[in-house]
Chains A and B, each alone.
Chain A
Amino acid sequence: MTSSIWSPTRRSFLAGSAALGAAGLIGTRPASAAVDWKRFAGTTLEVNLVKSPRGETILKYISEFEALTGIKVNAEATPEQQQRQKTTIELSSGRPSFDVVHLSYHVQKRQFEKGGWLADLSGYFKDPSLTDPSLTEGDFAEAGLAFAKDADGRLRTLPFSVDYWIVYWNKELFEKKGLKYPTTFEEMVTAAEALTDKAEGTYGFVARGLKNANTPVWTSFMLGYGATPLDASGKLATTSEGAVEAAKLYQRLMSKSAPVGVSGFNWAESQSAFLQGKIGMWFDGVGFAPPIEDPQKSRVVGKVGYGVMPAGPKAQAAATTGDGIGVTEASKNKEAAYLFCQWAISHEMGARLLQAGAGVPFRQSILEDAKVREGVKMPSAWVDAVVASGKISQLALPVIIPVTEFRDIYGVGLTNMIGGADPAKELESATAQFEPVLARSEG
């Protein structure tokens, strides 16, 4: 096994720790022998981040990057929705105010690629004077690499953090009813209905019901039926048998086993309901876990199981979304900006992300590093769910430009289904609305 700053052996980790401690005393930090980190000293970089636990992890340690490289970083972090608007408007103007951009793959990937807004990083990635040898394509989870490359196979971003959809389950409620964690969709429905006792205010299942936010719940179910929103030729397949069955499953779980008012729930409302200890299962991204084990916020500390998505009739798949970090095509400091991206997804930064429960790095070497796993604050079952989900990972949303419209239009249909509307008819209506939108975007 080769040792480097990104994937240390036990011996080099200890040696490195000692060196870091010593370096801390004199205010310097060792760099890889191959990469000349000081090459762009004196450059100023503008960095645009999403205000999230992931973006904040980068912000927290930026001074280390500045000490390592001599590059001055001006970083700005804005809430997700505003950041998406700001970056799109600035990038479309052709003169963005930033060199580095943090993006949500599941929403912005296709838009950024079609706009030609991201620099091609393939050359830098292969350049040993810019890229540490431990950073290889093989180290990224498959979904990460699929997200990071454009249709022509050029690397446009570096995969930063992945979010798998898992099932959080209340072990105490399951035990009371003598139930086990479901392994199939059918068992999940049975358990959800068995756990529901409306008189007691206990419900078997909760997930997003709010328009737009709810669409990934349905597309996640679709994966279990062997279906995806777009077929292999890129045409909408949202009225297929799998799509309708997934919608029926959504309707059944959300109308029979979910709490009152679920059609207005986003992840935050679902989370707060689950934290009260009255919900059997909560289906959402793995990144929302930390408050569950925080006694200040949760009544279910130590009582929660972290389950991999149960298998559908045709497949078992963990729906996947993710964040990437890239360099803008308009940047005049592309190589320095690339160094920043590389630092942001480094072994050390990925370990911090994972250990704080702020996110899950796309790099497998970090997840597999026993030393890193030891420092994770979340229970080991959470890490196990992350690793197991990585093995059955599939993209949660179609890679298209109008992702927001897709989520809005189908989301309205899903909300109507909770109110009793017919799933097949709602999907037909949503498809008729969305087809011209998709055609315009790719036209």
Chain B
Amino acid sequence: MHGISRRGLLKTGVAAGVLSLSGMPLRAQTRGGKLTAGLSGANTSDSWDGRTHSDLYMIASAQGAVFDSLTEVAADGSLKGELAESWEASADAKTWTFNLRQGVTFHNGKAFGADDVIESLQLHVAEGSKSAAQPIVAAIAEMTKITDSQVQFTLESGNADFPYLMSDYHLLMYPAGQIEEAIAQGIGTGLYQVQSFDPGVRMVATRYPDHYKGDSAGYFDEIEYIAINDNTARMNALMTGQVDAINRIDFKTEALLRANPALRIQEVTGNQQYTFPMLTDVAPFNDVNIRKALKYGINRQEMVDKILLGHGAVGNDTPIGPANQFYNAEMEQLDYDPDQAKFYLQQAGLDSLDIDLSASNAAFEGAVDAAQLFQSSAAAGGININVVQEPADGYWSNVWLKKPFCACYWSGRATEDWMFSTAYEAGVPWNDSQWDEKDSARFQELLLMARAELDSNTRRDQYHEMQQILRDEGGVLVPMFANYVQAVNNRISSPDTVGNLWQMDNARMAERWSVA
């Protein structure tokens, strides 16, 4: 029953025939055809307002197809200009000048210029705006239009990563003076022009002729994104050939997909991480020895094997993952060692320790199971973990940041500073371990130094040291990085390097993939 299906055989047969006839290499990207993708993360409340985007469906539709940002993170993790052509910083990384691409038009024909940049960014700091990118824009003290194609940003304090921040998927460029209309109809400068958009159901867009990216991107004539939040329905749609690609495959039925010769599975390890933060201002977690004991009491490899079913990598208690530029790969890996755990308990003056660990599958899929694995591995080190299963509803407001020890997840950030300043800088609202000067003054000092440092070698050393500090003393256990796993029909070809910052090639499959 799971052998080669009639359809699959036909498809691969035809594909192979065409390839051998044309003699083209597999990766050649041809224009034309249609991409139909079944994506999760859609809601009936979705809109083209970038400030509200939080899940794959709208990110792939907006930044991935219809809209552009100033900069873009390439599949290999490097930064390149999108609507900005180039940028320079002052020596203190406080003043940034962006040169905008000329001759770009919005889908309604309006030319793109400096006013659009300023007005689009101001949306995020508007009165009453609840934009998730608010802190990024709020850090800009002044935005000045120098010429129609040049904008200068003066920051509150130096930030070497500022161009990276401009690639955030919330920061979309809208036509100035027509923003309401652009949000209602989806008018951007992206490769694809909206044909129809039914929130939570379907989005169809066609290639915008004469796009500034020319022949280097956006190979399809048409794209259709179908909202399929149900896992099984998404797998079925791919198996029966009704969609060409799906995100987030279900590991339990992965074998069926692998057995289908017409499909291939794409798997990348990015920065998505499953964590157990502890509040370092609450006893007993205020004692670094207790934190160390826990670090040795958790069996990371077992979690990757059993919770992620192998689709991931072990973490080293830092939020900086393989998708980051200054990831410290040489740092020695923390290993499960109950004797070390016992040793650090003794250092803290204890023979055994009883703690509660709050978990719910709202934190991540399998969080409760992970907590139970942790419970059994820690028991060997004299740590008795009591797993408290919390209700999924209201988890993020009632448990996370409130209970001293709980389960959590982060999708990670493109840059080190972005991640640290979201969750590890003293005083920020999402600092889920209350990590600040009392724990490591050196860490906070390095954070500020590295942020304004333009020399990459110095920055590398600084970020490596910060990762070291977190590994040895940090208040967050990062036992695993979860892979992004998606499946694609062989009718569609994708480049060798697939982005690992987000699902579906950084949500840019409409731009980078093509018909095989």
- Same complex origin of A and B: no
Residues of B within 8 A of A (CB): none
Residues of A within 8 A of B (CB): none
